[in-house]
Each structure stands twice: as C-alpha cells, then as structure tokens.
Structure 1
Amino acid sequence: MKTVLITGANKGIGFETAKQLLTQGYFVYLGSRNENNGKEAEAQLKAAGLVNVALIKLDVTDINSINKAKALLENELPALDILINNAGIPGDQPQNISTCEMTNLREIFETNYFGVIQTTQQFLPLLRKAEAPSIINVSSEVGSLTMHTTPGRNTNWDNYHAYGSSKTALNTFTVMLANELSGTNFRVNSVTPGYTATDLNNFQGVKTVEQGAKAIVSLVNQPPPGTTGKFFKEDGEIPW
C-alpha cells in the first residue's frame, strides 16, 4: 500500500484529496497544524469507512514540528511514497504589490514558500527510500508569469499579488528541485486545483473541492516514470 503525506489536510482541498486517495487504496497521513482539527478530520474519514488514515501534527512553519513528524513517520514506515505540499494561506487582501504590508508578504511566504522547502528537505531521506517517490506542490494559476503577461489577463488577480508571488516562488522551487533530482526516480511537479471554493477565498471559487482535488489526485496516479519539472491543471500542462 502506497503512503501519502498531505500537509494542511484537515480541511478544504487537502481533506478532499485525502478522501479521494483513500477510496483508491492509499494510506494517507493527514498533516494538520491544529491537532484538534486534525482529529476531527480523521474521525470524519474513519466514520465514512476510510480507515487507512492517520493524523500527524505538522506545522510547516515550525521546524521542530516538522522534525517531530519526520521522526514519527521514520519509526512507522520503510519509505514515504508521496509528499503533497498543500498547506497554504492567502494573506490579507487586497495585496497590490505597490502597497502590500511587508508583514503580510512575509507571513504568506513563510507558509507558502519557506514552509514547503523546509518540509520537503526534512522528508527527502524517507522519500528516497521509495521506488517511485513523488513530490507535488499545490500552486495556483496566479503564480504563472506567462498568464500574468498575456493580453487580456485576469485583472482580479491584482488583489492577490503577494499570494501570487509566493506561488511563483513555489514554482521556481519545483523546477530547481526537479532539475537537482533529474536522473533519479523522483517526480517533482506543481499543480493548480483551479479557482476552488474554500475558506482560502471565502468560498467564492467556481469549482467544488471535489473538482479541485482531481488535478492533484490525477498527478498522484500518473504511472512511472511519469513527468517531472512541470506545472499541471486538471486537463493538462499550463505555462510557468
């Protein structure tokens, strides 16, 4: 049974991704910064008959929390097959880059960029032990520089400059890590769920969480050797 660790999995797209993967036979570790919220999510899944799930307390902004989670999994698993870096925050809006408060920008990057990197770094040794390890970074179209510079761009994105910048940086991390691990059995990719209705956007998204999670689940199920160093949405690749 393949094992998956999903950060920020107690709600929203992370929770739905866990649910869909559980129905497909994976064992899923629910990473949750808040232990009580994580326990509620775990109980909800088990009540639905999805028993191959376990809570793991994990705050991606806290290296001590990450190390404790790593030690726990190292004691339980011979290898970790898939890491889904899903935890993220939107920050306060509006956040036009010309006026965005630096405290807001730094807080967003702490979770969406630095948090992903330090979580990935700590779990790489356990991932290396898997036959076909995969790292999936949950990004956003708002991080696509090509889409920002295309005529007719979505001007509503101007309210999300700081968030979008963090996702652009995340995409850069994806490319650099994929390049560093080229020639190995690793796959490292970014994926966007699309504009999905979650508390991240006050449930204003046009897609359901069931629809948003499909892009992530599809990438998890990509047969080896698969693709690495790419940016995907539900219906295929999108530009950086």
Structure 2
Amino acid sequence: MKVLITGANRGLGLELTREAVKRGHSVYAGVRNLEYRVEQLQQLQSDAQSQVSIIQLDVAEEATCQQAASKLARENMKLDAIINNAGILTERSKTIEELDIAQVERTFQINLFGPMRVIKHFLPLVNKGPDATIINISSEAGSFQNAYGGDYPYALSKSGLNMFSEQLRKYLADKEVSVYAVHPGWIKTDMGGEHAPGTPEESARGIMDIIEKKQTINHSSSFINSRGEAMPL
C-alpha cells in the first residue's frame, strides 16, 4: 500500500511510518519543516531505501498541501490510505478566563483545518474502494461524554475533527472508503509526556491493523480507539 502520513517526523507519526515500512508499505512522510527534527525520519528513509519519501507538508498552509498533492499527481501516484496525524496541544490547563484566543485559532488551524486541507487536495489521489482508509488522529478529549472542563483548544478542535470524520464518512460511503477518527490512547510522546501508560509503538500497530483490515470493527461508530473499539461521542 501507499500511505500518506502527516507530522511524520516525531511521536506517533514517526512510529506509524516505522510500522508501515516494517509491513512493506510505501510512505509519503509529510513534515512541516524539512530541516527541523527530521534526523530519525531521514535515517529510516536511508534504511528503508525506496519505501519512504519525505515531503514538505505544512497542514496550516494550504499552498504546501496543494503543491505536495500536485507533485504526486504529476508522478501518477495513488494513495491507499491517509493518516492525518499532525497536531498540537496549546494552552494546557488554562481556564477560559486565561485563554489566549490566538492560540485557540492556531490549534484549530492545525488540528481541524489541517486535516480538511489535506483531504481537500489529496482525496482525488486516493484509490476508491473497500481497501482505502482515511484515519484522522483524534482524542478522547473530543468526546462530549468525557468533557472535563479544560484543554479548550485541543478538546474543541478534536471534537470538530470527529464531526468532520463522520461527515467525510457519509460523503465517501458510496465509494466504500473507510473513514475513522482514532483515539490513539494516552501515549509517551512529546504531547503525552513520560507518565503516559501507553506507547506510540502499540498505537501504531493498532492503527496499521485497522488500515490493513486486520482489525474487525463490528459497530457503526466512526470514532474509535486504536483497537477498533467504539469511543463515546
């Protein structure tokens, strides 16, 4: 399979790239800055030979999404899966009275509008059919039922991402493309911190199982965890 992964240079995005390569897939690894924290991804590219292509893809800038998609189109490349992984967590633990609204807007630009930009430009390159999958990396923070009165920018943007995923799922239903918003769990990354109980490797394996249709999903929810289980909306 050919898989596009955004935010592929660190954390879960890097582990998803590693796991996809380990399973024999080709990855278009999207990164915001080709010169910032890309050493591990470049090493993976070197080790995996032709399996990893690093592309500049700043999900907050539509022009880079359009340019990257156009480049793949010119090369007659097709995608079997898209993983919208790039995301940020800002204004951690601030009350509503303390919020910097500029940071709220920045969070939406990356966490919600970013995946929308990516899908807008890369969807024409997806091989439509039951083998195709779109994964938007979400969070339990985006669940109404699990609302906890904090992390406003992150929680609200992920809630919007869940709705976008369901809208996209309905839009692509006749094309049989699977669309999921996936909660990867609380995992040890720059965002999750060292005290997180899970690992990005575990989540990456589960997400790749979903993409490869190895994970049986016997419910109708588009908001799931990395084991394919339904998440509360």
Counterpart amino acid of 1:141?
E
Partner of 1:222: 213
Partner of 1:234: 226
Larger mean CA deviation between 110-119 and 96-105 belongs to 96-105
Cα pair 1:7 1:31 within 8 Å, conserved: yes
Question: What is the aligned length?
Answer: 231
1:48 offset after TM fit, Å?
Answer: 4.1
Cα–Cα, structure 1 residues 92 and 110, in superposed 2: closer, same or farther, change >3 Å? same
Partner of 2:14: 15
In 1: Cα distance, 2:206 partner to 2:183 partner: 7
1:229 offset after TM fit, Å?
Answer: 5.6
Cα–Cα, structure 1 residues 45 and 130, in superposed 2: closer, same or farther, change >3 Å? farther
In 2: Cα distance, 1:14 partner to 1:103 partner: 26
User: What secondary structure is seen at the aligned counterpart in 2 of 1:41?
Assistant: helix
Unaligned residue ranges in structure 1 (runs of 5+)? 149-156
Larger mean CA deviation between 11-20 and 202-211 belongs to 202-211
User: What secondary structure is seen at the aligned counterpart in 1 of 2:89?
Assistant: coil
Q: Determine whether 1:183 maps to 2:182.
A: no
After superposition, residues 105-116 of structure 1 pair within 5 angstroms as 105-116=104-115
Partner of 2:202: 211
Provide TM-score, normalisation by structure 2. 0.89
User: What secondary structure is seen at the aligned counterpart in 2 of 1:200?
Assistant: coil
**How far does the alpha carbon of each residue in 1:71-91 deviate from its partner, in whole angstroms, 9 at most, with x for none?**
111122441111100000001
Counterpart amino acid of 1:121?
K
1:43 offset after TM fit, Å?
Answer: 2.4
Q: Which residue, 158, 164, 183 being the options, matches 1:167?
A: 158
Cα–Cα, structure 1 residues 99 and 39, in superposed 2: closer, same or farther, change >3 Å? closer
Cα–Cα, structure 1 residues 77 and 146, in superposed 2: closer, same or farther, change >3 Å? farther
Cα pair 1:21 1:217 within 8 Å, conserved: yes
Cα pair 1:82 1:134 within 8 Å, conserved: yes
**How far does the alpha carbon of each residue in 1:125-171 deviate from its partner, in whole angstroms, 9 at most, with x for none?**
111557732110000011111223xxxxxxxx544222011100000
User: What secondary structure is seen at the aligned counterpart in 2 of 1:117?
Assistant: helix
Partner of 1:152: none
In 2: Cα distance, 1:136 partner to 1:178 partner: 11
Cα pair 2:78 2:125 within 8 Å, conserved: yes
After superposition, residues 89-104 of structure 1 pair within 5 angstroms as 89-104=88-103
1:42 offset after TM fit, Å?
Answer: 3.3
Provide TM-score, normalisation by structure 1. 0.87
In 2: Cα distance, 1:147 partner to 1:134 partner: 26
Cα-Cα RMSD? 2.3
In 2: Cα distance, 1:219 partner to 1:94 partner: 32
Q: Determine whether 1:28 maps to 2:27.
A: yes
